[in-house]
Structure formats: structure tokens, C-alpha cells
Amino acid sequence: MRIHQQVRSFVVLALALFLGGIVSAADVTAENALELTLPPAIYAVPGIEMNVYFDNIVLTQEPANYHFEVQSSIGHTEERRWTVIPQPADTGPVPFSIRVSNDDGQVLAAAASVLHVIPKEAGQNRKIRLLIVGDSLTHATKYPNEVARLLSQPGNPEWTMLGTHRPSSAAEGVAHEGYGGWTWARFATRYEPNPDGTYRKRSSPFVFAGADEKPHLDVKRYIREHCDERPPDFVVFMLGINDCFSAPADDPPGIDSRIDAVFGHAGTLLTDFRRAAPNAHFGICLTPAPNSREEAFRANYKDRYSRWGWKRIQHRLVQRQIRNVLAADDNNVSIIPTQLNIDSIDGYPANNGVHPNDAGYSQLGSTIYAWLKSRL
């Protein structure tokens, strides 16, 4: 991959014209619909590596065929990514933009964001309560463990993790509501009258039988019974893979229809959380980019699902997640850019399409930690 290594200070011109960081190639030229996508904000903390992997922000099977030019006053560009380990002097907002061009130098797509470098001491001496809700990526407990490890370093608040799920792999104090195969719909509606003690046959932790013996979503009751009647200060949602994985990859309207349904369930759950914890900050994790290896998908799914099929669905889901949160215009609901800072090669094992290895989970944890610091 030939990349113009041009990393310099850059003043973002008319950021609003970039639609909150999303610009498809059609906005620049009709020849290449790369659908370059950036979230409106990226977060970093001094001393901790943060990355933007180029394969994760464009919709193409051949990212090596394009030139990526990053403009930022800090960090540097490598073959597959832009990377930075901020220094304390870098704290504050840093304009950030990317242009993608072809071999002829024609700009095919451009997008802008803002990198927020958060002071290392943000939130020091505060007490915070954190709840993480998710699917198998959360169930693995590796990125919650990493969030806990980072929060335990000097300069951080005193933290408590909430949740009824404490797998054997959980570090001391780590808990969450993360279950393999779960979806926004299951968390919003699932009721099991005869649970068997496993996560596969159980009710959503937020759904209870009411006085009418019918199931009801009741986050207030969850807080009362499982959180010592004290709501969380922060809630992180890492959901979307199971909701959309089987969407028709070759049918863009079908993908959007599936995402519409997902957003309906997500809206129901978030609305009840907002009522129960009106002062909490809610972070919506952008669905992570998949393993770059097609053989990893063959190992998991044979010929049922392909890497390129899921990449198309995941990329569209990320675009819709960004637009949905921006359209809600709620200061207490924001985007966690988890799809940027995960290495689709070295962050995954060779035989798994969507579940990272330890390095990838650590990158997810770092991104969530940086977002938490930004809210503090």
C-alpha cells in the first residue's frame, strides 16, 4: 500500500459539511463508492496507543489499492493505519481528516473528525458506577477486564462495575450483562418463565413479570434489585453483530430494513434506561470491523456467510449507528468509535471471523476507556 505520509496540522473547514464525519465517495466523485466513514469524535488518553485502521473505514475488498492521506498535528501514518500515543502536552481537541485517492492522484473520498486527547487525570478522585451490556464479545470478559485495568491506574476515579454476570474469567470487581448470542431485541423483550440457570435460557436482566404476570421491561427494578438502588453513571452497549449478521448482504434495502428493526428495539431499551438513570452517560459502541481473513469465516460458517458479506452489513450498520445517535441529539448518548481501533489482522485469530484475540480485545478496552475519560 503506497500512502502519502503527510501528517501535519490541519484546520477543519466546514466540519458540518462532512455530515458528522461521514462522506461517501459519491460526494467527491461518482467513480468509486468507497463510503469512507469516520465518527464525529475520536478519543485518546496520554500514554495509551490509539489507531485508525484504514481497512475499517472504507467499503472495499482491496484497501491496498488506495492511498490514504491523514492530516493531523500529532501521530503518524503507517502502511495500514494512522497511530498515536499522545503526550500530556497534546491534550485538547485535535482536528483530524483523511483523504483517499487512486493511483492517478484523484481524490475519491474525504472525511473529517476531531481527535479529543483527554487529560490523564480526568475524573481523579471521583466515584463512578459502570454497567456494560453486550453479546459474546462482552461475555468473553476480556475487554471489560482491560477497562478495569486501565481505570485502576493512577489518575482515575474509584470505580464499581455493575451487573449480575461474573464469569470465572472476570478480574476482581469486574461484572457486566454480556451473553453470547444476545441482541438488542433480547435485552429489551426476552422473558423466560422457566430458566435453567444458563445464559441461553434466562430472561433479560431488565425484563420482569409484572403484577399482571406479563413480562415488562423495567430497568428501574433492575437498579433497585441488582444495583443497591443506585443507578449507573455510565452505561456501555456493545451490540449489533447478532442482530444483523444474517441480514441479506446482497440486498441493501434488506440490510436497512433489518437495521430499522434493530433500532426499534434499541430505542425501547435506551428509553427505559434514560427514565431509570436520567443523569447517566450512555455509550453506543460502533460494531467492530471483522477479521480480514476469508478463511476465518469459512472456519466458522462454512459457505453460509462470507467476510465480504458481513463487511458490507457491518459497514452499513456503523454508518446508520452514527447517524442515528447524531439525529437523536441527546447530550447523554454518544458514540464509542470501537470500529476504528481494532486491527483486522493482528487483532484476530486466524480461525474466527468476529471474535478478537487478546490484542484485539485490549484495543476495544482502550477505546471504551478513552471514551469514559472524555465523559469525566
pTM for the full predicted model? 0.92
Taking residue 236's Cβ as centre, other Cβ atoms within 10 Å add up to: 25
Instruction: Enumerate residues 6+ apart whose C-beta is below 8 A from 356.
Output: 137, 142, 288, 342, 347, 348, 363, 364
pLDDT at 21 over 60: no
User: According to the model, what pLDDT value does residue 116 have?
Assistant: 98
Q: What is the mean pLDDT of residues 277-292?
A: 98
Q: In the chain, which residue ranges form alpha helices assigned H by DSSP?
A: 136-139, 142-151, 184-189, 219-226, 241-244, 252-276, 294-301, 307-328, 358-375
Q: What is the mean pLDDT of residues 307-335?
A: 97
Evaluate whether 325 touches 284 at the Cβ level (below 8 Å).
Answer: yes
Q: What is the mean pLDDT of residues 126-140?
A: 98
pLDDT at 37 over 50: yes
In this structure, what are the phi and psi dihedrals at residue 362, rounded to the nearest 5 degrees?
-65, -40
Taking residue 55's Cβ as centre, other Cβ atoms within 10 Å add up to: 21
pLDDT at 6 over 60: no
Q: pLDDT averaged over the chain?
A: 91
pLDDT at 33 over 90: no
User: According to the model, what pLDDT value does residue 93 have?
Assistant: 98
Q: What is the mean pLDDT of residues 291-295?
A: 96
pLDDT tens digits, one per residue of 242-251: 999 999 999 9
In this structure, what are the phi and psi dihedrals at residue 307, rounded to the nearest 5 degrees?
-65, -45
User: According to the model, what pLDDT value does residue 125 have?
Assistant: 93
Q: Which domains can be identified in the chain, with CATH numbers? A: 15-117 (2.60.40), 127-375 (3.40.50.1110)
pLDDT tens digits, one per residue of 190-200: 999 988 888 88
